[in-house]
Chain A
Amino acid sequence: AQTVTQSQPEMSVQEAETVTLSCTYDTSESNYYLFWYKQPPSRQMILVIRQEAYKQQNATENRFSVNFQKAAKSFSLKISDSQLGDTAMYFCAFMEETSGSRLTFGEGTQLTVNP
């Protein structure tokens, strides 16, 4: 079974600084997708960034980027120029290509951006 591990239950960062959230996963599959979701205090979960395992280039979305290390099964999220609105729970998630849309989530990392 696939597992997703986020080893940092809580993190904090000063506004405008950079923070990296870690995620590791376990799978025997070669084709899959990885995601970072953000859940602000209002609780609507939104997709932040997505990475296809067959792509070697790391995905980026504005201030958000990932460091995808396939051999190490590591998928970290870097948030640059942190903003107060980035305060949220961040979930790493995994989806096998053959499983349709079945997502496996990590336990989450609560990120607090301090002014």
Chain B
Amino acid sequence: ETGVTQTPRHLVMGMTNKKSLKCEQHLGHNAMYWYKQSAKKPLELMFVYNFKEQTENNSVPSRFSPECPNSSHLFLHLHTLQPEDSALYLCASSLQSSSYNEQFFGPGTRLTVL
């Protein structure tokens, strides 16, 4: 595998379910990001991790819980989501987040909340 991978690519869940999205980067980067992409809206930055430490939480509801066990893996744990949370969730990585570095994106997970 190369670049940034995300699993699953598609996920359908009910509002009472608990699920997790996974992101893995094979680029030797130290910063990882979660974005939400909704139709007709700009990408919204959700969380930033730099060297496994969360450096940014962009006022994301607590029903989204990120986890970064190491610099290569990033998870987004989901519980009691709402239908308006349906979107494409993109993961990205960069060398680090404390200075300018190009971000590389994964293919995304298409989430549908019923």
Chain A residues in the interface with B (C-beta under 8 A): 4, 9, 33, 37, 42-47, 50, 91, 95, 97, 100-108
Contact = CB atoms under 8 A, between A and B. Distances in A.
Contact of A43 (B56, B88, B99): B88
Interface string B53-88: 001100000000000000000000000000000001
B94 A101 contact: yes
B99 A100 contact: yes
B48 A102 contact: yes
Task: Tell me what chain B mostly uses at the interface: helix, strand, loop, or mixed.
Answer: loop
Contacts of B102: 47, 50
Interface of B: 31, 33, 40-43, 45, 48, 50, 55-56, 88, 90, 92, 94, 96-103, 105-108
Contacts of B45: 102-103
Nearest to A32: B100
Contact of A101 (B100, B106, B108): B100
